Amino acid sequence: MHFVLALCVFAISAGFASGQSCTLPNNDKGTCKILTECDAATKIFTKKNRTSEDENFLRKTYCGHAGQTPMVCCPESEKFSCTTPDNKTGECVNIQKCTYLAEIQDDPLNEGETVFLKNSVCAGPEENSVCCGSEGSSVDVDSLGKNVPVTCEQSAFPPDPDSDCCGLDSSVSDKIIGGTATGINQYPWLVIIEYAKLETSRLLCGGFLISNKYVLTAGHCVKGPILEAGTPKYVHLGEYNTTNEGPDCVSSGAGQPDCNEGIIRATIDEIIPHPDYLKPNNFYEQHDIALIRLKVWAPRTEFIRPICLPKIDHTLSLPPNYKFQVAGWGRYYQDFVNKIFKASEVKLHVDVPYVNHGDCQRKLRTIPNLYKLSNGIKVSVNVTLWNGQLCAGGVAGKDSCKGDSGGPLMYENERKYTAVGMVSYGLGECGIGGYPGVYTNIYPYLPWIKATIRE
């Protein structure tokens, strides 16, 4: 009943026909081709030190499958266009071909230049690719110093969704406009809950930061059968690799490692499940939502910051085939064909398509014998959705599952993220094609959230 992330570079789903025109993530024109017939994509896919930018680019260029071979949107030009951190048009090349960035790499003068270099990393066919501006470009150190960080008031209440104090990850720097997200900095609102039992501790559920004091998670993460495994004691802030409490580092693609600051193990002050969670006749996880109040104030850093809460019910105005993002540390498919799972040590994410209530209800009623209780026993149920829930997913091999419970279902608009839903439950095995996952819809619970939070 808890979710896992099933993630691969390319997903198995419908797409474009071979030879059809398409557009790459950088807005270059391309043609849908088999991966092995696209020299540029093959070079990125076989890079020795493939970065998260490379993997995101490959994922977004996916345009279908020819048998078991993925197809990609293959660029028409050998040159990869890009946008520099200061919003200038550039070309994605090896850093040694870009004089002014190579000089920064060898001897950065200040923090502004270092951030500029990190935000210049781009997805391209060459190793250590960066977005290089036109000939004669340079980094204006003086102008970098004038871009002051956004000042956000420390508060227990969620920030205004219209401000820059929520929903912005490392793809939008406080100091430099533009840039691309790095895996280690993505989704800085994600947290993991640590459970204690006797002398042992376990990481069992996720959640997300909504202010400097509060985390949202699922009701079943703090109440019910899960408490047999342990009591929630800590929330990990700024987490990336769960096997390491110190700073985590990944390749930035610019010749220098990109490192975080290590985790903060924030002690839980209070756990507040929704008052109607686990009430009689509530078999389908209605009101599956809870607040966690921290004893410490969560700092605002590059790796720790809140996500925005919705101003409207986004499910009422989503475009056709809209895809949400789900992220977490749950299990993923090591071998999708043979259903072999592996627990993830690092933060993963996956795109899942929105499924409206009517379609979701019909799909879930077709598998009445696959619902699993926490003890593994299968029972026959007739699932009935209600307005406090929404559905997403149903693509084979792309899902959330055990370990991702409580994590956000994210709506992204112009690089700002809103927590539209929360991972709640699913039916049967994770990642089964045609069967969406069920999420708590955050919008109907805004009055309860605001009334429960205290400064």
216 token code pair: 């949202």
CA 272 to CA 206: how far, in whole Å? Answer: 16
Q: Which residues contact 354 (CB under 8 A, 6 or more apart)?
A: 315, 318, 321, 322, 323, 324, 390, 391, 392
CA 351 to CA 186: how far, in whole Å? Answer: 14
CA 168 to CA 176: how far, in whole Å? Answer: 13
CA 72 to CA 60: how far, in whole Å? Answer: 9
Cβ-based neighbour number of residue 108 at 10 Å: 16
Contact between 194 and 202 under an 8 Å Cβ cutoff? The reply is: yes
60 token code pair: 């977004």
Local structure of 405: helix, strand or coil: coil
- Beta partners for residue 195, in sequence order: 202, 232
Cite the active site residues: 220, 288, 405
How far is the first Cα of the chain from the last one, in angstroms, to the nearest whole number? 33
Query: What one-letter code names the amino acid at 121?
Result: V
Q: Which residues contact 413 (CB under 8 A, 6 or more apart)?
A: none
Please return the burial class of 186, using the count of CB atoms within 10 Å of its CB with bins 0-12, 13-18 and 19+: buried
